[in-house]
Structure 1
Amino acid sequence: MSDGFDRAPEQERPQDSVSQQNSESAMAKPQVVVAPVLMSKLSANAPEFYPSGYSNYTVSTTAYEDGCEDYPTLSEYVQDFLNHLTEQPGSFETDIEQFAETLNSWVTTDDALQELVELIYQQATSIPNFSYMGARLCNYLSHHLTISSQSGTFRQLLLQRCRAEYELKDQAAKGDEATRKRFHAFVLFLGELYLNLEIKGTNGQVTRADILQAGLRELLNALFSNPVDDNLICAVKLLKLTGSVLEDAWKDKGKVDMVEIIQRIENVVLDAHCSRDVKQMLLKLVELRSSNWGRVHVTSTYREATPENDPNYFMNEPTFYTPDGVPFTAADPDYQEKYQELLEREDFFPDYEENGTDLSGASDAYLDDIDDEMDPEIEEAYEKFCLESECKRKQ
């Protein structure tokens, strides 16, 4: 006898079919229920999903390690990473280590190192707002690239490239608008390098490159010697960026270079034929320097703070309003008097003697007054509620 999972033949005679139906109904064999097949559009070959904003630079670089025919050149790989940092500057911390490791296995010749330096320099001086990121990148690579070619280390080649541009400063400051624009980008990049490029001394101390400090001084001279508007604007940007650090460094060496620069600015404001807006920018810069570049070295402690020496002395005090809607704060000379009048008029506190009278009795009396004024229906409902609650508690 066949079981319930046997398949019927494809062609069946009519009489056999009738007898088979009678037999099946008599035996009442169980029916097999076949679950519906769910169709899915998911595929194991689908590309990996990444949420918006996710940095997929790591994934794109691993494709280069699979021996594909479109394996990139050093220039393509570096430019890809620089564009990645330009679009997602926040990914610097997460991606820079892998980038440096890849370069250590790739940059093994003098030409490759020179090409790397040139690519970073061009990106930092041609893409707006990349000078800061470029300076950070240069500082990281100067400490983590292991190659030291016959031409020098990464930092040495970088400074040589900057030196070549620096030598053209006088011609560039006098050049046409496009030439001056490239020169200004170089000036600001050198300022970022001065702030971010760390030089480790023999004792492990970290210092800035003094050669860049001297170079920035001469670049300012070139800009002020050709006082057209865009040169002066570049000088203002550079001093806002590095002025406080430069002045501190010069003061430590007993130099008065910043005093000379400020004098130069004042002369430009008086004599140069620049626009009124640029002159205003220069005057604002002089004002900024006179306030120690906006820095506050000494702050008053809480006990020393007074309305005279602390502008925020009354900052945390409340603001009150008179019946006429006029605001007054603790900074108001009549604050105490108005505040006391407000308390007396509103009768915020009950009268009590100054000898330490206990206020608990007053509070009880206040509650008794409230009980006396309770509506009878409310009082009855309240008592009923208390009784029901007590019964439930005992159960």
Structure 2
Amino acid sequence: MTDSFDRTPGAGRSRPKLGSPSPEDLGRLAEAGDGSAKPSTFSQHEPLRQPKTSLPLADGGVGSAAESRGTQSPLQGSSILSIDAPEFYPFGYTEYQEVPYEDNSEGYYQDVTLAELVQDMLSHLNASPGSFELEVEGIAATLNEWVTTEETLQELVELIYTQSTSIPNFAYTGARLCNYLSQHLAISPASGNFRQLLLRRCHTEYEQRNDAVKGDEVTQKSFHSYVLFLGELYLNLEIRGPTKRATILLEALKNLIDALLSNPVDGNIICAVKLLKLTGSVLEDDWKLNGKTEMDAVVAKIRNIQLDSTCSSRDVKAMLLNLLELRSSDWGRVVSGASAVEATPDNDPNYFMNEPTFYTDDGVPFTAADPEYSEKYQEIVDRECYCPDFSEENGTEECYEEEDGMDPEIEEAYEKFCLESERKRRQ
């Protein structure tokens, strides 16, 4: 049994071969069946099926080929696509409608209030005070379009006053703006124009001066800002008259100074000093023009406060002393300035103003106005290195001490430095 067993893989098994059946197979099939020999399923290949539709003709489509056979194309009549069909929009779609742009300057600020507009303008001027001359004309033109009623004019005055007395260092620019608007705002209702309403607003604060100088720190600080703003208004608000300034402000400033000095706490005194440094020379000139000596009375009060050891701090007393010295020099002005040719240390107090300041070994400063200037200056020249010439190559000053010379180690290091510099320069 083992001898007849074939161990070859696949031995004893055979796969039917595809192709035509043998005569023996046909005979067996005829005997088993009804005598009709049927071909095997693995007979020769069936012929290819004819296409359901004919290929399109050269000059027509499917419809043309079907028409040529007298039959209807399967695609004909079933398609609803058409170039004339309306556009399809999904559910919830909103068609975009482009709004034409209109260059209408009147509607540019239609969503902005007057307060916001003025706030933006003043913030811009505060950030760029140098652009005042370039911007103020446009600001006035814009405000003329907005301020057309008595209510808006009153609101404008209040806005500018509030910003000028609350923004630090804006009093000067605010006063200049008030002066320009008082001359260029077109509206002038029966209640008063811009300048009249502004002075009326300042008068309201002026009437509370006696209580403000005795109030708390916040009240005093607000009052001090008002005082300095009024001083700027006095210098910048132009009106018709010989002095081109509001006379009513001259009297108001005198009373404000008296109120500040009547309660000589540090804050009030500092405010009075700032006001007098700002307007002292102009106030005294205007008082003298009117035949008054009001500045002498103010200086007398300041001197009494400066001599009183209990009414102010040491730093404030130093400020008062500097103010008194400033007034004694006619507020820093030269009454009769000598010509440049005739100027001498005796007739020109500013003769030594631009001279440099030197220091001795002990740190004591001295200038050309010092009587011993020549001797002290010569000592400095003899002691230290003085070199008027500069090196043309590297722009550094060449300075040597010819008498003492340099230390040997320093000289050796310097020579190495020069050689290294020369080597790098030639590379």
Report the TM-score, using the length of structure 2 for normalisation. Answer: 0.57
Q: Which residue of 2 aligns with 1:290?
A: 328
User: Does 1:255 pair with 2:292?
Assistant: yes
**1:319-334 → structure 2 map (5 Å cutoff):** none
Which residue among 226, 235, 260 is the counterpart of 1:223?
260
Say which SS state the counterpart of residue 179 (structure 2) adopts: helix
Q: Which residue of 2 aligns with 1:118?
A: 158
CA drift of 1:95 comes to 1.0
Using a 3 Å threshold, how does the CA distance of structure 1 residues 270 and 114 change in structure 2: closer, same or farther? same
Say which SS state the counterpart of residue 134 (structure 2) adopts: helix
Partner deviation per Cα, 1:8-54 (whole Å, 9 max, x = no partner): xxxxxxxxxxxxxxxxxxxxxxxxxxxxxxxxxxxxxxxxxxxxxxx
Partner deviation per Cα, 1:340-362 (whole Å, 9 max, x = no partner): xxxxxxxxxxxxxxxxxxxxxxx
Q: Distance in 2 between matches of 1:66 and 1:145?
A: 18
Q: Distance in 2 between matches of 1:186 and 1:195?
A: 14
Q: Which residue of 2 aligns with 1:80?
A: 120
Q: Which residue of 2 aligns with 1:268?
A: 305
Give % identity: 62
Q: Which has the higher contact order (CA 8 A, sep 6+)?
A: 1
Whichever residue aligns with residue 225 of structure 1, its letter is S
CA drift of 1:146 comes to 1.1
Which residue among 183, 191, 203 is the counterpart of 1:163?
203
Q: Which residue of 2 aligns with 1:280?
A: 318
Whichever residue aligns with residue 104 of structure 1, its letter is N
Which residue among 207, 217, 231 is the counterpart of 1:177?
217
Q: Which residue of 2 aligns with 1:104?
A: 144
**Which deviates the most, 307-316 or 117-126?**
307-316
State the aligned residue count. Answer: 262
Q: Distance in 2 between matches of 1:69 and 1:208?
A: 36
Which residue among 278, 291, 309 is the counterpart of 2:347?
309
Q: Distance in 1 between matches of 2:280 and 2:354?
A: 34
Q: Which residue of 2 aligns with 1:208?
A: 245
Using a 3 Å threshold, how does the CA distance of structure 1 residues 278 and 332 change in structure 2: closer, same or farther? closer
Using a 3 Å threshold, how does the CA distance of structure 1 residues 231 and 314 change in structure 2: closer, same or farther? closer
Partner deviation per Cα, 1:313-348 (whole Å, 9 max, x = no partner): 69999xxxxxxxxxxx9x99999xx9xxxxxxxxxx
Using a 3 Å threshold, how does the CA distance of structure 1 residues 115 and 273 change in structure 2: closer, same or farther? same
Q: Distance in 2 between matches of 1:162 and 1:133?
A: 17
Whichever residue aligns with residue 190 of structure 1, its letter is L
Using a 3 Å threshold, how does the CA distance of structure 1 residues 312 and 260 change in structure 2: closer, same or farther? closer
Kindly indicate which of the two structures has a greater share of residues assigned to helix: 1
Q: Distance in 2 between matches of 1:278 and 1:92?
A: 35
User: Does 1:145 pair with 2:182?
Assistant: no
Using a 3 Å threshold, how does the CA distance of structure 1 residues 183 and 334 change in structure 2: closer, same or farther? closer
Q: Distance in 2 between matches of 1:296 and 1:228?
A: 33
Whichever residue aligns with residue 172 of structure 1, its letter is A
Q: Distance in 2 between matches of 1:240 and 1:312?
A: 20
Q: Distance in 1 between matches of 2:353 and 2:284?
A: 33
Say which SS state the counterpart of residue 239 (structure 2) adopts: strand
CA drift of 1:215 comes to 0.3
Q: Distance in 1 between matches of 2:257 and 2:354?
A: 45
CA drift of 1:149 comes to 1.1
Contact 1:64 1:71 in 2 (8 A): no
Q: Which residue of 2 aligns with 1:196?
A: 236
Using a 3 Å threshold, how does the CA distance of structure 1 residues 232 and 139 change in structure 2: closer, same or farther? same
Contact 1:64 1:72 in 2 (8 A): no
Contact 1:288 1:294 in 2 (8 A): yes
CA drift of 1:309 comes to 2.6
Using a 3 Å threshold, how does the CA distance of structure 1 residues 142 and 315 change in structure 2: closer, same or farther? closer
* Structure 1: segments with no counterpart, 5+ residues: 1-61, 318-328, 339-395
CA drift of 1:104 comes to 1.4
Q: Which residue of 2 aligns with 1:236?
A: 273
CA drift of 1:98 comes to 1.0
Q: Distance in 1 between matches of 2:199 and 2:348?
A: 46
Q: Distance in 2 between matches of 1:294 and 1:68?
A: 50
Q: Distance in 2 between matches of 1:315 and 1:224?
A: 34
CA drift of 1:270 comes to 2.4
Using a 3 Å threshold, how does the CA distance of structure 1 residues 109 and 269 change in structure 2: closer, same or farther? same
Q: Distance in 2 between matches of 1:285 and 1:315?
A: 20
Using a 3 Å threshold, how does the CA distance of structure 1 residues 289 and 64 change in structure 2: closer, same or farther? farther
Say which SS state the counterpart of residue 331 (structure 2) adopts: helix
Q: Distance in 2 between matches of 1:100 and 1:64?
A: 19
Report the TM-score, using the length of structure 1 for normalisation. Answer: 0.61
CA drift of 1:301 comes to 2.1
* Structure 2: segments with no counterpart, 5+ residues: 1-101, 356-367, 379-427
Whichever residue aligns with residue 83 of structure 1, its letter is S
Using a 3 Å threshold, how does the CA distance of structure 1 residues 243 and 332 change in structure 2: closer, same or farther? closer
Q: Distance in 1 between matches of 2:216 and 2:304?
A: 24
Contact 1:197 1:209 in 2 (8 A): yes
Using a 3 Å threshold, how does the CA distance of structure 1 residues 239 and 98 change in structure 2: closer, same or farther? same
**1:36-47 → structure 2 map (5 Å cutoff):** none
